[in-house]
Amino acid sequence: MPAPQEKSQENSQESQGPRRIGQWLYLREECIDEYKRCHAKVWPEVLEQIKDSNIRDYSIFLALTPRPTLFASFKYIGQAFDADMARMAANAKVQEWWEMTDGMQASPVEGAEGSARGPGWWGQSEEVFYVE
What are the residues facing 125 on neighbouring strands?
22
Closest residue by Cα to residue 65 from 106, 109, 29, 22? 29
Closest residue by Cα to residue 26 from 122, 125, 124, 126? 122
CB 120 within 8 A of CB 6: yes
For the annotated catalytic residues, the residue numbers are 39
- What type of residue is 52? D
Pairing outcome for strands 55-63 and 123-125: unpaired
